[in-house]
């Protein structure tokens, strides 16, 4: 690995930031953890950053971001429980916008089409997070089974004659080794923790046979049109506790200031342009808050920022608008009078270069038992035993998405 510069100064998105991220990935330098509150609650140990097992055993990540383990490291149930942010800003939103969303999902992505067409005739293909079923039946020589967490989207698929079910990507109800291939197209970026994203990849590998292929695509933080990045609505750490820990009932929004956005320019990136203003208000479903970007931490936060709300504009004339009135009432959605739409926010964790590979490399660690090393001032763990082997057979960046193809060994 070539020497890399230490800290790139504040500036525009570009190759430099990607390099910094790659450096961080290799040396396992922890990045600021936006989920500190959640980690402390769980007492989680250090997560590996793609290091081989022995290196991980002897490596000593900086204590900066370490949290001492509190007794047993046991969150196998929590990884499959849906966090509040996903319930509010993924599940409910897609349920509310399903027909409109489906109407905009028709273009077939060439890379996905190519993957599906390369499969052996007679293959069983599992589309996990199939949405409106855009890819179901794409290759007529294969048999497709789709699943999604959104019942309204699944009903749209069923209405088109597809074989579908309602299921959770983090806890698939398929038995092991059944599929010949699996695809997860623009799904994992809606999962809000590293553990859940990794679990979803493990599930995809589990449900295909040995030699089966898995295609995963996710939104990239590094968009092809880099200027758009500045206009996403970032979620900042100080609001983390509120929308992760939120348990009180939603409060009606007091502010009249609205997000200014235009309609999605590209259905596959869904990037929204925001008003070019240093002070931005965003809607978190509880009350409006102001993110002040004028302080010195701004550029540092931006470099590490991977959590965003991306708005969806539902035009007033759509039939789904009827259900939107309840959402408006409790502050879950907002009106954009200028655009004539109701605005919902969708949660995204956008991926950096190497992030998909990081979780995939971890799955190659065969039957290594969990070890707790107490001779260091902090504790960390090697990967859990029993994870099936998978190897990366392809990886690429396409249309602002990071993509990976895995083969189950």
Question: Strands 179-185 and 208-219, how do they pair?
Answer: parallel
Q: Give the x/- contact pattern for another protein in 231-270, rule: CB under 8 A.
A: ----------------------------------------
Phi, psi of 21, rounded to the nearest 5 degrees: -65, -40
Q: Which is nearer to another protein, 122 or 377 (CB)?
A: 122
Q: Which is nearer to another protein, 98 or 314 (CB)?
A: 98
Among 149, 182, 208, 216, binds another protein (CB under 8 A): 149
Q: Which is nearer to another protein, 14 or 151 (CB)?
A: 151
Q: Which is nearer to another protein, 147 or 361 (CB)?
A: 147
Find the part of the chain contacting another protein (CB under 8 A) among 47-55, 143-151, 272-280, 353-361: 143-151
Closest distance between another protein and the C-beta of residue 250, in Å? 19
Query: How many Å apart are CA 116 and CA 215, to the nearest integer?
Result: 9
Q: Which is nearer to another protein, 80 or 364 (CB)?
A: 80
Is there a contact between 63 and 378 (Cβ–Cβ < 8 Å)?
yes
- Decide if residue 121 touches another protein (CB under 8 A): yes
Reference 82, options 219, 198, 243, 191; nearest CA is 191
Q: Which residues from 163-192 bind another protein, rule CB under 8 A?
A: 163-168, 171-175, 178
Find the part of the chain contacting another protein (CB under 8 A) among 54-62, 75-83, 263-271, 277-285: 75-83
Per-residue CA distances from 89 to 1, 210, 244, 330 (Å) = 39, 35, 11, 14
Find the part of the chain contacting another protein (CB under 8 A) among 155-163, 210-218, 244-252, 375-383: 155-163
Among 154, 188, 200, 229, binds another protein (CB under 8 A): 154
Q: Which is nearer to another protein, 196 or 339 (CB)?
A: 196
Task: Please provide the DSSP assignment of 1-53 as one string.
Answer: -----S-PPS--SSHHHHHHHHHHHHTTPPPP-TTHHHHHHHT--BPP-S--H
Find the part of the chain contacting another protein (CB under 8 A) among 105-113, 150-158, 219-227, 287-295: 150-158
Q: Which is nearer to another protein, 178 or 293 (CB)?
A: 178
Among 158, 244, 373, 392, binds another protein (CB under 8 A): 158
The residues, any chain, with a CB within 8 Å of residue 238's CB and separated by 6 or more, are none
Is there a contact between 328 and 321 (Cβ–Cβ < 8 Å)?
no
Task: Please provide the DSSP assignment of 52-79 as one string.
Answer: -HHHHHH----GGG-----S----TTGG
Closest distance between another protein and the C-beta of residue 166, in Å? 4
Q: For 292-311, what is the HEC assignment?
A: ECCCCCHHHHHHHCCEEEEE
Residue 84 DSSP one-character state: H
Q: Which is nearer to another protein, 209 or 399 (CB)?
A: 209
Q: Which is nearer to another protein, 64 or 173 (CB)?
A: 173
Among 80, 104, 301, 330, binds another protein (CB under 8 A): 80
Q: Give the tokens for residue 158.
A: 């069923």
Q: Give the tokens for residue 291.
A: 């993110």
Q: Which is nearer to another protein, 80 or 395 (CB)?
A: 80
Query: How many Å apart are CA 315 and CA 329, to the nearest integer?
Result: 17
Query: How many Å apart are CA 169 and CA 167, to the nearest integer?
Result: 7
Residue 216 DSSP one-character state: E
Closest distance between another protein and the C-beta of residue 168, in Å? 6
Among 19, 26, 37, 143, binds another protein (CB under 8 A): 143
Phi, psi of 358, rounded to the nearest 5 degrees: -55, -50
Q: Give the x/- contact pattern for another protein in 190-219, rule: CB under 8 A.
A: -------------------x----------
Write out the residues near another protein by the rule CB under 8 A: 77, 80-82, 121-122, 124, 143, 145, 147, 149, 151, 154-155, 158, 163-168, 171-175, 178, 209
């Amino acid at each position: 690995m070539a020497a890399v510069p230490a800290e790139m100064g504040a500036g525009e998105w570009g190759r430099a930031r990607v390099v910094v991220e790659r450096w961080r990935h290799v040396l396992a330098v922890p990045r600021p953890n936006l989920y500190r509150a959640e980690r402390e609650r769980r007492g989680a140990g250090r997560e590996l950053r793609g290091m081989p097992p022995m290196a991980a055993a002897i490596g000593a990540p900086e204590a900066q971001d370490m949290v001492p383990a509190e007794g047993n490291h046991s969150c196998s149930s929590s990884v499959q429980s849906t966090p509040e942010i996903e319930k509010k800003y993924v599940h409910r939103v897609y349920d509310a916008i399903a027909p409109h969303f489906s109407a905009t999902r028709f273009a077939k992505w060439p890379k996905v089409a190519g993957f599906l067409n390369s499969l052996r005739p007679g293959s069983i293909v599992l589309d996990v997070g199939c949405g409106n079923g855009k890819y179901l039946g794409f290759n007529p020589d294969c048999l497709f089974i789709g699943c999604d967490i959104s019942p309204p989207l699944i009903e749209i698929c069923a209405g088109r004659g597809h074989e579908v079910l309602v299921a959770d990507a983090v806890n698939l109800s398929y038995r092991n080794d059944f599929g010949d291939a699996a695809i997860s197209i623009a799904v994992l970026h809606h999962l809000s923790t590293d553990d859940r994203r990794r679990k979803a990849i493990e599930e995809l590998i589990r449900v295909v046979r040995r030699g089966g292929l898995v295609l995963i695509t996710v939104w990239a933080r590094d968009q092809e049109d880099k200027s758009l990045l500045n206009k996403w609505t970032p979620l900042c750490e100080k609001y983390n506790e509120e929308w992760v820990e939120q348990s009180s009932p939603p409060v009606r929004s007091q502010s009249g200031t609205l997000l200014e956005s235009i309609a999605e320019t590209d259905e596959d990136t869904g990037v929204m342009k925001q008003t070019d203003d240093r002070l931005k208000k965003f809607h978190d479903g509880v009350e409006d808050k102001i993110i002040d970007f004028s302080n010195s931490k701004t550029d540092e936060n931006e470099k590490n920022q991977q959590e965003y709300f991306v708005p969806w504009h539902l035009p007033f004339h759509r039939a789904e608008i009827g259900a939107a009135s309840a959402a408006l009432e409790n502050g879950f959605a907002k009106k954009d009078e200028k655009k004539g739409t109701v605005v919902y926010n969708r949660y995204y964790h956008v991926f950096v270069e190497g992030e998909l590979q990081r979780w995939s490399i971890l799955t190659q660690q065969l039957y290594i038992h969990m070890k707790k090393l107490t001779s260091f001032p902090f504790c960390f763990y090697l990967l859990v035993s029993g994870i099936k082997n998978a190897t990366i057979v392809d990886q690429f960046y396409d249309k602002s998405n990071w993509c990976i193809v895995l083969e189950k060994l």
